[in-house]
Amino acid sequence: MIKKLIFVYNADSGTWNMWLDVAHKVFSPATYPCSLCDLTYGIRKIEPEWDAFVRKAPVPFEFLHKDEFLAAHPNTPFNQFPFILKETANGSPEMFIPAAQLNDFKTIEALKSAILEGLLVV
């Protein structure tokens, strides 16, 4: 049973990093390194469709930036960002949706469908 999903962005936390990300999205969107950010956030705010999905999610979602995740899990085997982990009853995070799959999603609907399908399988 999945207790929660942990979303880890390929971006660092902090105001300065947020502004760098905004600039990168505006001036060079094709090379922006975080497909998860790109899908779920516009230039400066969360996409309304994603926000509504998060609020009604069937399990809790936790969102971390890359630096926050690495500080909390310094010995992690997960090193291809972004990704989504699942936390099960035993408490150890396991891969739910890896970077390669996230990078293939072109719409929020595709991401939402993969999440819901993954939750049904478990």
Q: Is the pLDDT at 103 greater than 60, yes or no?
A: yes
Q: Which helix (H) or strand (E) holds 85?
A: strand 83-88
Cβ atoms within 10 Å, residue 18:
15
pLDDT at 20: 63
pLDDT digits (tens, 9 = 90+) for 56-102: 999 999 999 999 999 998 888 888 899 999 998 887 889 999 999 99
- Topology of domain 2-121, per CATH? Glutaredoxin (3.40.30)
pLDDT digits (tens, 9 = 90+) for 15-69: 756 656 665 565 566 665 677 878 887 777 888 999 999 999 999 999 999 999 9
Q: Where are the domains of the chain?
A: 2-121
pTM: 0.84
Cα 17 → chain centroid: 17
The DSSP secondary structure of 25-92, one letter per residue, reads HHH-GGG-S-HHHHHHB-SSSB-HHHHHHHHT-SS-EEEE-HHHHHHH-TT-S--SSSEEEEEETT--
pLDDT at 33: 61
CB 102 within 8 A of CB 112: no
